[in-house]
Amino acid sequence: MRFTLWATVAASTLALSAVVAVPEAHADKPSKGKQPSGGGSTGASVSKKIGLAPAGLKFGLGIEGIARLYDKVLDEEYLPLYKKASPGPQTDALDAELKQRKGEVRRSKLEFGNTPTGVDQTTLKGEYSYANGESMARLTLRSGTERYLFFFGDKLWKVYDEHKLKKGTPMGESIESALKALQGRFGVAGKKVPANPDKGQHFDEWHWSTPDMLIRALDKDNIVAVVYIDKEIQEDLPKLRRNKPKNETAMDPDVAAALKKNEPPPGPKKEDEKKKK
C-alpha cells in the first residue's frame, strides 16, 4: 500500500540513543537479590528510572506490538524522504524500501526450541536458553546500532544493543568514552565485573541497577553492548528456565549401565588378604 503523506504532520526526529532517563515517579519494586547473568554483582544503584527508546517500547510487549511500534517510527523517518521524492519511480522505490524495513522485526523472529541454532556460534550465547519458551528478534536502528530483542512466551524481557565504537558517535571510539557516556546517562559509574570464562562470562562488564531494571555494558573490543533487563524476570530465571541444556559429551545412561555390568567385580580388600595369609 502506498505510503500516505500527512500534510499537517511535522517530521519528528528519531531518537538515536537506546534509552532515555526519566524522573523517578513510581514506587520501587523490591529486589529479591538474584544476580544478572554474566556477572556476580547487582550493579551500581541508579535512583532514577530509565525508559527504553523509542517511546512506547517496554518490557512485556509482544513481537507484533513492537513491530507496529517500529512501523510508526519508520513512517516518521521516511516522511521527509517522501516529501522530497517525485511521484513515480522515486516514490515506488521508497515504498519498496519502507516495506522491506517494516518487515525486518517480524521476519527475524527465532524460536529457541529443542534444536540448536547458529546463534550459539556468536557472542550472544548465554543470553537465552532452549526449550523454555524463549525467542529472539533483531533489527538495525537508524544510528547503526544492532538491536536484539529477547522474549519469554512472546513477552519482551531483554533488549541487547551493540554499538560500534568509532569517533563521532554517542559512545565514542573506546570503551572508556562509552563508559563515560553511560555514566552521564545513568548518573553514576557502573560497577565493574571482570571477565570470568569459567562462569560463562567472556567479557569485562559494568553493571547498574534501577528500581525495575538491570543494565549491563560489555566490552567487546570495537563494540560495546548495552543490555537492558527486566529485573523481575531476571530474578525468576531459575523457575522460568526449568529445562537445562543437555551435555552432548556425556555418556548415554544405558551405555554407562551396560559397561558397568561388564566390569569385573572389585578385588578383595587388603585387610581380607592379610587374614587369608
> Quick one: pLDDT at residue 128?
97
C-alpha cell at 248: 552432548
C-alpha cell at 178: 562509552
> Quick one: pLDDT at residue 42?
80
CA–CA gap between residue 169 and residue 174 (Å, rounded): 11
Q: Pick 165 or 13 by higher pLDDT.
A: 165
> Quick one: pLDDT at residue 244?
86
pLDDT digits (tens, 9 = 90+) for 210-252: 999 999 999 999 999 999 999 999 999 999 999 987 655 545 5
- Whether the pLDDT of residue 98 is over 70: the answer is yes
Average pLDDT over residues 34-40: 44
Bond into 30 cis (ω within 30): no
Query: Taking the alpha carbons of 73, 49, 60, 160 in that order, is the dihedral positive or negative?
Result: positive
- Whether the pLDDT of residue 132 is over 60: the answer is yes
* Mean pLDDT score of the chain: 83
pLDDT digits (tens, 9 = 90+) for 49-76: 999 999 999 999 999 999 999 999 999 9
Using DSSP bridges, classify how beta strands 49-52 and 44-45 pair: parallel, antiparallel or unpaired.
Answer: unpaired
What is residue 159's three-state secondary structure? strand
Burial 42-54 (b: 16+ CB within 10 A, else e): bbbebeebbbbbb
- Whether the pLDDT of residue 266 is over 50: the answer is yes
Confidence band for 27, pLDDT divided at 50, 70 and 90: very low
Confidence band for 188, pLDDT divided at 50, 70 and 90: very high
Confidence band for 142, pLDDT divided at 50, 70 and 90: confident
- By CB atoms closer than 10 A (0-12, 13-18, 19+), residue 193 is buried
Q: Pick 187 or 34 by higher pLDDT.
A: 187
> Quick one: pLDDT at residue 69?
97
CA–CA gap between residue 146 and residue 164 (Å, rounded): 9
Confidence band for 38, pLDDT divided at 50, 70 and 90: very low
C-alpha cell at 273: 588378604
For residue 277, what are the contacts with CB-CB under 8 A and spacing of at least 6?
A: none
> Quick one: pLDDT at residue 245?
74
Count CA atoms within 13 Å of residue 66 on its CB side: 30
pTM above 0.85, yes or no: no
Average pLDDT over residues 130-150: 96
- Using CA atoms, how far residue 176 sits from 27, 41, 95, 189, in Å, is 33, 20, 41, 11
Q: State what percent of residues in the chain have pLDDT above 70.
A: 74
CA–CA gap between residue 175 and residue 223 (Å, rounded): 8
pLDDT digits (tens, 9 = 90+) for 198-220: 988 999 999 999 999 999 999 99
